[in-house]
Amino acid sequence: MPAIPRPIDPLAEAERLCLARGMRLTELRRRVFEIIAASPRPIGAYAILDVLRDEGRAGAPPTVYRALDFLLEQGLIHRLASLNAYIGCPHPAERHGGQFLICRGCGRVGELHSGLVEATIVAEAAALGFGVETQMVEVLGRCAECTAAVPA
Amino acid sequence: MPAIPRPIDPLAEAERLCLARGMRLTELRRRVFEIIAASPRPIGAYAILDVLRDEGRAGAPPTVYRALDFLLEQGLIHRLASLNAYIGCPHPAERHGGQFLICRGCGRVGELHSGLVEATIVAEAAALGFGVETQMVEVLGRCAECTAAVPA
DNA sequence: TAACGAATGTTACACTATAACGTCCGCTCC
DNA sequence: GGAGCGGACGTTATAGTGTAACATTCGTTA
């Protein structure tokens, strides 16, 4: 899923945004964010907890979930409901609902970020009188590399 | 979410489809389907289990999950990943990915079923070389009734 | 330095889902 | 008719995900 470029330095971007918003990117939150950003695939809360424990840090599930809640609120990460896993956001500066392409082959996830998809959903929902607040699109399939690797 | 009509008789439709496909809609599967179809809101697996137990039926989680797996495979129900809950499908004859409008006010869920949304997602994904297999759209917001009940 | 609130530590538990194995039942094929 | 087979279900145990509730620490401010 390399089609979409990541920010040069996700951590620096996260620090910049938190500073601008007056939010505290503490040591724990920063470390959880780094673990997610460093993972090539979506990572689960308990896998993050394992990493923290390997580093000698004390920790129980709430330790991780509180950090995840903060990062989600700040839009620095997304939660993939279909996988119960978390992924860094490549463009956290603009708040947005998530649109994800999940590859069945390699497990990597790309973010679609299509204004057209978003607008179409809003319009179709509005036609039914439904007011959209947040939207979540998760698409399962095969990425270009995996399609090339296993030709039909 | 009454904008989308339900089939006249979901159970009859389910029986018809299973018969046509040579699949067995057993007593247990039928009952689980009825419970889901009768629920005005998405219902969780353990809530279904509670109903079965209230009816005096023996049961453990696998009892319900196996029935759910069957109904999902047949496209008779959908799973809402963001809620960990299940909902009947209003048009099970055509296989399709789910597009759901989830109301924060009343908890009811409508199915969008927009070919345009689906096609847009497929097109945008294809532009990145990604081949779509199944897609899942879950939209959180407020339905017409709840918007009217609590004016801005 | 006292006081306050935010962040974290800690224990316990709720909720969701599946693995593994046994039993029963209906069907087919000799 | 019975041996064998496969699908559905029963049962026990456990894995995986997430939160409630309360104690403690820490930084900031007054």
Q: Is B137 on the interface with A (CB under 8 A)?
A: yes
Q: What is the DSSP string of chain B?
A: -TTSPPPS-HHHHHHHHHHHHT----HHHHHHHHHHHH-SS-B-HHHHHHHHHHTT----HHHHHHHHHHHHHTTSEEEETTTTEEEE-S-TTS---EEEEEETTT--EEE---HHHHHHHHHHHHTTT-EEEEEEEEEEEE-HHHHHHS--
Of A8-12, A30-34, A57-61, the range with the highest mean pLDDT is A30-34
Tell me what pLDDT residue A2 has: 45
Over 80: is that where the pLDDT of A146 sits?
A: yes
Contacts with A, B 3-22, CB within 8 Å: 3-4
Residues of A in contact with B102 (CB under 8 A): none
Nucleotide nearest to B63 (CA to C1'): D9
For residue range A44-99, list pLDDT tens digits in order. Answer: 999 999 999 999 888 899 999 999 999 999 999 999 999 999 999 988 888 787 89
CA of residue A69 to C1' of nucleotide C1, angstroms: 34
